[in-house]
Amino acid sequence: MTIFRARPDGSDPWDGQIAWDGQVRRAALGKAGVIAAADKREGDNRSPAGTWPIRHVLYRPDVYPDGPATALEIRPMAADDGWCDAPGDPAYNRPVGLPYPASAERLWRDDRVYDLVVVLGHNDDPPVPGLGSAIFLHLARDGYPGTEGCVALAREDVEALLAAARPGDAVEIAAG
């Protein structure tokens, strides 16, 4: 089993790195840094510390017509895919179709950061309302600004991670 280890590595709480197989790549973490998973709260802009299994990969078929190169389970995204982030909703921290009656994040985004989404097993078995939703590994924005709690990498680094990943692998988010 490979553990992809992400941790802060700069003066800003979100400036980080991820390492695997002797490689170290730049990463962006939560805008407000990393927090113990038990203290994670919806909307706190923190990445939850812990080791999170890789569940599957979502991808935009208009960008990756054949899907990304990986041994992981892949699922194409549709333009109406969303992820519920409403703690009081029964679909909290689950995929939903849009429009959805409760708050839900759109997965098919114009900013392209969700062209590839590695779904991590944080707060999903079962989801506990309010302890954080939609913790993904995805594409970083230019300049690697902080995320809302996810781990973000350059497109080529996400593609390299996916090429190296196998079923049963996980992403560890460390506090430092």
* Domain ranges for the chain: 3-173
Locate 118 and state its tokens.
């590695």
Question: Under CATH, what is the fold of the domain 3-173?
Answer: L,D-transpeptidase catalytic domain-like (2.40.440)
pLDDT at 121: 98
Average pLDDT for the chain: 97
In this prediction, residues 20-44 reach a mean pLDDT of 97
For position 11, what pLDDT does the model report? 85
Q: Does position 158 have pLDDT exceeding 80, yes or no?
A: yes
Give the 3-state secondary structure of residue 157: helix
Interval 76-101: pLDDT, tens: 999 999 999 999 999 999 999 999 99
How far the first Cα of the chain sits from its last, in Å, is: 22
Alpha-carbon distance of 112 to 110, in angstroms, equals 5
With a threshold of 0.95, does the pTM exceed it?
yes
